[in-house]
Structure 1
């Protein structure tokens, strides 16, 4: 990465110059070299991340205005910074993959999500769901494990993990994951309620998470409304009797 290389060259040059030409003590020269490395590395990192942040903000506005294709092109322009800073490419891939996934262009989304940033838990969750839809359960579990390993305190992620496990017929493992999630999160009403639902053989209630849940396209708002309507109608019939 250019940032690391440039900073190392500056740090090395400063340390060598102080040792060879100024006859400064070796350890003082090393400390000066470390400082000379740190300052440009920090400044370049800050500059690059500011540029990426600006692109993300522009893309977000385009998404909100319904211009997803323009948002993707904006994000793609961020690839030019990939050689300057670690993880830039994977972060941009994660963002583009998310946009394509939300658009339900799952094939294209999968290609980007595979190259996404492992600590971007939403993108990792979407990648895991893609593996589930491809009937690659082991890869789904592997991806979820990476996601919860990097983001232990996010309740929704544990719920999503368990939901997908239950969907592929791994109810007992889903219960185990929810129990583990409760310990990591430190207590959560929705986690607890869904854990009890799994133990009792009932359906997990994910709609409480709203938009963040629906963007995974595992349930449709309309279908849930129909289910609720039928349930209400059923209760009314029981009352009438």
Structure 2
């Protein structure tokens, strides 16, 4: 990464200048040069990530304006900062992959998501679901395990993992995942409820997550439409009262 190289060069130059130019003892020069490395790297990190943040914000506005292709083009501008900072390229891949996934272009989404950032748990969840649809169960499990390792506190990720395991006929593993998740998350209600359902031989309930759940496209379109229709009817009844 260029940020590391530049910071290291500044650090080395400082150390040499202090030792041979100013006559500092080597251990003093090393300590000061380490401080220079930290400061230079921090400044470069702030500058690069600020520029990436501006691009991400513009892409988000494009998405909100239903301009998916423009959002992708906007995000691609951030690739040039991948040489400057760790994981920038992977984060961009995750963002682009989620856009294609939301459009139901799963093949295109997969291309980006498999090169994404393991801490982007939504992208990792979408990748695992793509693998489930390809009947690549072991790959799906490996992807979820990697996502969990990076995001242990997200209760929806644990529920999504268990849901997919149950869907491929591995209910016992799904139960174990939820039991493990209960030890990690602070919001235990959703996990506990689904754990009890699985133990009783029933289907998990994910509707409490609302749009966050629907974005994974695991509900059939007909079921979603019925759900939205019931919600609209319920609102009309409330208004009439």
Provide the TM-score with structure 1 as the length reference: 0.92
Distance of 1:131 and 1:222 partners within structure 2 = 23
C-alpha distance after superposition, 1:146-169 (max 9, x if no partner): 111111111100000000000000
Pairwise CA distance, 1:221: 5.9
Report the CA distance shift for 1:228/1:90 in structure 2 as closer, same or farther (over 3 A): closer
State yes or no: 1:217 paired with 2:227. Answer: no
Distance of 1:86 and 1:41 partners within structure 2 = 12
- What is the total number of aligned residue pairs between the two structures? 230
Name the counterpart of 1:239: none
State yes or no: 1:81 paired with 2:86. Answer: no
Distance of 1:194 and 1:200 partners within structure 2 = 10
Name the counterpart of 1:107: 107
SS in 2 for 1:184: coil
Distance of 2:133 and 2:46 partners within structure 1 = 39
8 A contact 1:214–1:221 mirrored in 2: no
Name the counterpart of 1:61: 61
8 A contact 1:118–1:147 mirrored in 2: yes
SS in 2 for 1:116: coil
C-alpha distance after superposition, 1:200-237 (max 9, x if no partner): 111111111011111100004641564899xxxxxxxx
Distance of 2:201 and 2:39 partners within structure 1 = 57
Name the counterpart of 1:208: 208
Structure 2, unpaired ranges of 5+? 230-241
Q: Hey, which bits of structure 1, 4+ residues long, moved more than 4 A?
A: 224-229
The root-mean-square deviation of aligned C-alpha atoms, in Å, is 1.7
Structure 1, unpaired ranges of 5+? 230-241
Distance of 2:133 and 2:192 partners within structure 1 = 27
Distance of 1:13 and 1:228 partners within structure 2 = 64
